[in-house]
Amino acid sequence: MSLSFKTRKRFGQHFLHERTIIDKIIHAIAPKKTDSMIEIGPGLGALTEQLVPLVHYLIAIELDKNLIPLLEEKCVGLGEFMILQGDVLNVDFRTLTKIKCRWRVVGNLPYNISTPLLFHCINHVSNIQDMHFMLQKEVADRINAQPGQSSYGRLSVMIQYYCQVEKLFNVKPGAFRPPPKVDSAVIRLIPYRKLPHKAKSSLLFAEIVKNAFNHRRKMLRNNLSYCLQEHDFEQLGIRSSVRPEQLAVNDYVKLANFVIIKNELEKNN
């Protein structure tokens, strides 16, 4: 069977082929024989065939059913691995094995759905040891952005709430076939074992962050007027006139926790 393959645009496919970049990613992951690993979007198996012999067990999740025979041919006999054909957004990491483990997750994420995939992963952080992802550089910069930077937004706050973020290196389009029109970057995300700033309700925290950034150019008091008044901001020591990108993660935690306390007090009065 030939390992040649025609890419399908609707899947956002750009297959990694440059050996120096593959080696660099493997070195960054530093796989061990005790690792249980999930690979999202293995494509033609450039990383998969390197990882399978180095880990205890690898599950590759691939949406494109036409790639499954190619992956099986490439990785058969290399070690313990399984291929799941389907959409990773529908996969519950907790149900992938009967044995309790904390997964190491890797992937060259399709650019067209990288943000939903990242949100899906942070919903499973209690089952994840770390994540190494190849992403569009612009998305990696957003994840790693700091308050006050133009790229700082909802994605930055949500990922940094749950994980330590490290941008490792950039990757030029020529490392892929076909080459994308933009640069890529590899990032490392390590979920906190203990959150440095813990929200009383993760759902309310996520809601407040989402609403704060729904209108980036508006002031915070306008975006969050449904749950916070001017005197609430004053009590928290946060200026209501700032724009959402000027607040740090811990500021959003403060806002969310204040709303919880405020609602409880109003219920009791």
Binding-site entries for S-adenosyl-L-methionine: 14, 16, 41, 62, 87, 108
Give every CB contact of residue 46 below 8 A, 6+ residues apart in sequence.
15, 16, 17, 22
How far apart are alpha carbons 234 and 228 in whole angstroms?
10
Which amino acid does the sequence have at 184? Answer: S
Cβ atoms of 18 and 44 within 8 Å: the answer is no
Which amino acid does the sequence have at 78? Answer: L
- Largest Cα–Cα separation, the chain: 73
Phi, psi of 153 (to 5 degrees): -160, -160
- Binding-site entries: 14, 16, 41, 62, 87, 108
Residue 195: which of 253, 118, 257, 248 has the closest Cα?
Answer: 253
In eight-state DSSP terms, residue 184 is E
